[in-house]
Structure 1
Amino acid sequence: MDRIKTDLLVIGAGSGGLSVAAGAAQMGADVVLLERHLMGGDCLNYGCVPSKALIAAAHRAHDMTRASAFGVADVTPVVDYAAVQAHVAGAIARIVPVDSQERFEGFGVRVIRDSGTFVSPTEVEAGSHRITARRIVVATGSSPFVPPIPGLADTPFLTNETLWDLRTLPEHLLVIGGGPIGMEMAQAHRRLGSRVTVIEAGKALGREDPEIAAFALDALRAEGVEIAEETAASHVRGRDGAIEVETKGGTTYRGSHLLVAVGRTPNIDGLGLEVAGIETTRAGIKVDAGLRSTNRRVYAVGDVAGQGQFTHLAGYHAGLVIRNALFGLPVKTRPDIIPRATYTRPELAQVGLTESEAREIHGDKVEVVRQGWEHNDRAIAERETEGLLKIMVVKGRPVGASIAGAQAGEIVNTWALALSAGLKMGQIAGMVSPYPTIGELNKRAAGTYFSPRLFDNNTVKTVVRLVQRWLP
């Protein structure tokens, strides 16, 4: 048995684990990193990168069918799905060196490609290695949740991990799950030429502000995606090319392929957490506000920490853990500043409180500023005028932003900064945006907030008249 002593042991080489390992090693800590599968984790290999690459291809195909609005003839695209998947693989391959074992070994990290299991509160066994660490970070991520639908285990189905193995475009893709992954893949495959049906037990995009979600849902339906809401799957059967999903309402949907996208489950099995005194919940490892588990030497970051499933959240967690584990500085997570985006077209984005959440917490102190895309000159030039920016404001400070429209995922950055830094609407109004950009909407929204205070205020008008009377 190879016995290793280290300052920091990181279990899992996804976004959060890699960020912790790289940061700690470059700051002088002795770091060991365990990874049993692929470097880069879900985001690089199965999630963010491949899905956005597929969406980009689908967007190009869709643009070809509506070019006449710009004076360019519409054409029906010829889609080579195998080539699309090659594009997806190429995007992954270009990023792989950034997350590679060789790069992290160059930082001074010792990388061991094996599973890890706790054998005591401070020791982890990985193959022939027994590692004793002063601090341990669990960053094992999550995996697609496979629901216990009768017949599903005996029926061919896809998840976000296996979708990328396809080389033939699905003739009719059935999607169980109307969350972000399900809706993104539904629209992408529809734009590439598949028939698509989404089956959702509740409301599609149900986590989002309903008014904001409607922009995406209306767009998907207009493009031909069938969305069956309040429709729970009760039985699945079939074979490759012939899948049936029966619902509790008695309707049966038939398609060629089935994608299951009903959420994710934390990767905690086999870690021996109970041996280390680490408590868990259904969401993952139980952590405090500083991301420490019930074993104070062990932290959890990213999906497995049960606070959300976003790559940028894992990176945020990593920064906090580095500050605490290496320098002993107090840290506390702030869920209110974590943005999210759904990359349908139009895009959706959210940071902070939705309108209903803000009203529940702040009551009549909430002012909702609404700004549409229809008068933004860049949106007009690009024929992307469907959209809405809603800013929830309390005592002059934004507490949330809900966005639907072109570049929503970019626009939310300003509001994420505003919430993180505690900015006031006046500071957003004082910003200068380049013209013409979609981002001008942020400044205009701030202006909309101040307009009634300036233009409908008799006191302001009286002061202006008095000043004008006395100015030379």
Structure 2
Amino acid sequence: MRKYRLQVEGMTCTGCERHVETALNSIGAKNVDVNFRRGEAVFELPEHIGIEKAKEAVNKVNYKAGEAEVIHQQKSSVVGDDEGDYDYDFIVIGSGGGAFSAAIKAVEYGAKVAMIERGTIGGTCVNIGCVPSKTLLRSGEINHLAKNNPFLGLNTSAGSVDLKKLMEQKDELVRELRQQKYVDLIDEYGFELIQGEAKFVNEKTIEVNGNKRTAKRFLIATGASPLIPNIPGLKDVDYLTSTSLLELKELPKSLAVIGSGYIGLELGQLFHHLGVEVTLMQRSQRILKEYDPEISEAVEKALTEQGIHVITGATFERVEQNGDMKQIHVTVHGEKKIIEAEQLLVATGRKPNTEALNLQAANVEVGSRGEVKVDDYLRTSNPRIYAAGDVTMGPQFVYVAAYQGGIAADNAIGGLERKVNLDTVLAVIFTSPSIATVGLTEEQAKERGYEVRTSVLPLDAVPRALVNRETTGVFKLVADAKTLKVLGVHIVAENAGDVIYAATLAVKFGLTVEDLRECLAPYLTMAEGLKLVALTFDKDVKKLSCCAS
């Protein structure tokens, strides 16, 4: 038996589900589960019945069968199934979220697993990414609110910031989480840790510290590191990256940031909130250029209101050191400018960590940026070798890496045929206000052929924002004009990262604008904005009373 997930268009109710289920049962399908909201049917077919017959059955009852995916194929795992004498069933290169997810799942299949790490256990997120940056961002928010609260009658203030103590507290948290969530799990699950630089000798063999080790399958999960642009003079200046910035022990008086993606925005605002004069510089004409314009505009307005200098449309001519100051020579709309700052942060993206792996020896193809190229099953050009996480240059989130690591282990070790589905990857930027998005932007929806309707709700129409006295922000909802199916949700608001999970469920399971309208929303929460932005499709939300529906 093979288990399939078949996309089915045209279903609008539970009656449609029954029609499709009956059609599939009639050709011998088993364990049929049809869901009109998700627009799919999941079922098992005997080996002698092809998927095309299932599609024909669905089409005959006046629905449109789309893409089919094998989500489970009953065959033996590779554990003990591959001929030859190998040191391990599975070698995982890297020790971040994707690597641990894969190693744990492979052990659960009964595989003998080794993990190779050249540096600190835990990868980017716990050591130099999510955990340290977010705890420091919270400290910055508290410091900023103490100095700039919006309520009359409250007299709050903030003293000087002891960055050294903040960094020490951050480092203690990192050590604790690294131990609990990574190091301790190695013994708990019983895979072997090998410290050292990994290099492929051939498609079955890897060399570490001069020792060769073989495996039936490999996973490359080596992550990514800061990408440094080719700006004249930059290499001669003592610049900072996202890693070294989080190791500073003293606050600079001023900080210039080249790049205004999520890293530049978060770290730039962090240091502004700690009392540093910050200038953000961006090549594109607007920050967050891949987001909807309303999102970019709201974010830039919020940053500017807080006192951060934002420069867009900049061409970087050169960088120089002038005494204690860095000078960044830029051209903005034809005008030459010099931006001076005590410290310079370069936040222009990430590059995959593949240089030392000798991938050509294993017949593993890489892309133009050095990223490992994978198919929908996370296989590389060598079917023995898989890759997951940032090294593939997909969405740069630890939860995506962990998801991919699990799929890679299912396919490489479990013998499954699981496809990666990143259609509803949510993204959060932990600025203040925070930024969260899921699904398609308006432009992306139009490029995919949708006739689009949108609703844009300014944050000053959300009661929670009014009582907070923080009204700079926006909710935007993108929907299919014909069906009102929610295609994307984009938010700039306090707690946007918490609200976006509900929006993710709406996009993933094909909810409509009407579904959002009909759901009860708790008054005076930011989540109420989801309902209000749905109501604005055909009503003026400013003319509604509180809790109106």
Counterpart of 1:439 in structure 2 is 527
Counterpart of 2:491 in structure 1 is 403
Pair 1:16 & 2:92 matched: no
CA 1:133/1:451 → structure 2, altered by over 3 Å: closer, same or farther?
Answer: farther
Deviations 1:318-339 (A, max 9, x none): 2221322233222222232111
Counterpart of 1:378 in structure 2 is 464
* Separation of aligned partners in 1, 2:314 and 2:417: 46
Q: Find the partner of 2:399 among 312, 325, 335.
A: 312
Identity %: 32
Q: Which moved more, 1:214-223 or 1:22-31?
A: 22-31
Flag structure 1 segments of 5+ consecutive residues without an equivalent.
Answer: 453-472
> Contact 1:4/1:129 (CA < 8 Å) preserved in 2?
no
Residue pairs, 1:178-257, within 5 angstroms: 178-202=260-284, 203-238=286-321, 241-248=324-331, 249-257=335-343
Residue pairs, 1:4-403, within 5 angstroms: 5-67=87-149, 69=151, 71-202=153-284, 203-238=286-321, 241-248=324-331, 249-283=335-369, 284-363=371-450, 365-394=451-480, 395-403=483-491
For residue 410 of structure 1, report the CA deviation from its aligned partner. Answer: 1.3
CA 1:70/1:8 → structure 2, altered by over 3 Å: closer, same or farther?
Answer: farther
Q: Which structure is higher in helix share?
A: 1
For residue 430 of structure 1, report the CA deviation from its aligned partner. Answer: 4.4
For residue 22 of structure 1, report the CA deviation from its aligned partner. Answer: 1.9
> Contact 1:338/1:352 (CA < 8 Å) preserved in 2?
yes
* Separation of aligned partners in 2, 1:334 and 1:289: 8
Deviations 1:217-258 (A, max 9, x none): 111112221111111222112167321111245311111111
> Contact 2:140/2:270 (CA < 8 Å) preserved in 1?
yes
* Separation of aligned partners in 1, 2:112 and 2:538: 53
* Separation of aligned partners in 2, 1:95 and 1:397: 40
* Separation of aligned partners in 2, 1:445 and 1:217: 21
2:314 alignment partner, SS class? coil
> Contact 1:68/1:74 (CA < 8 Å) preserved in 2?
no
* Separation of aligned partners in 2, 1:79 and 1:5: 53
Q: What letter corresponds to residue 142 of structure 1 in structure 2? A: A
For residue 4 of structure 1, report the CA deviation from its aligned partner. Answer: 6.0
1:244 alignment partner, SS class? strand
- Please provide the CA RMSD for this pair: 2.1
* Separation of aligned partners in 2, 1:287 and 1:47: 25
Q: What letter corresponds to residue 345 of structure 1 in structure 2? A: S
1:23 alignment partner, SS class? helix
CA 1:30/1:426 → structure 2, altered by over 3 Å: closer, same or farther?
Answer: farther
Counterpart of 1:459 in structure 2 is none
Q: What letter corresponds to residue 20 of structure 1 in structure 2? A: A
* Separation of aligned partners in 1, 2:429 and 2:279: 19
* Separation of aligned partners in 1, 2:261 and 2:221: 24
CA 1:136/1:229 → structure 2, altered by over 3 Å: closer, same or farther?
Answer: same
Q: Which moved more, 1:323-332 or 1:113-122?
A: 323-332
> Contact 2:302/2:473 (CA < 8 Å) preserved in 1?
no
CA 1:246/1:423 → structure 2, altered by over 3 Å: closer, same or farther?
Answer: same
Q: How many residues matched?
A: 449
Flag structure 2 segments of 5+ consecutive residues without an equivalent.
Answer: 1-84, 541-549
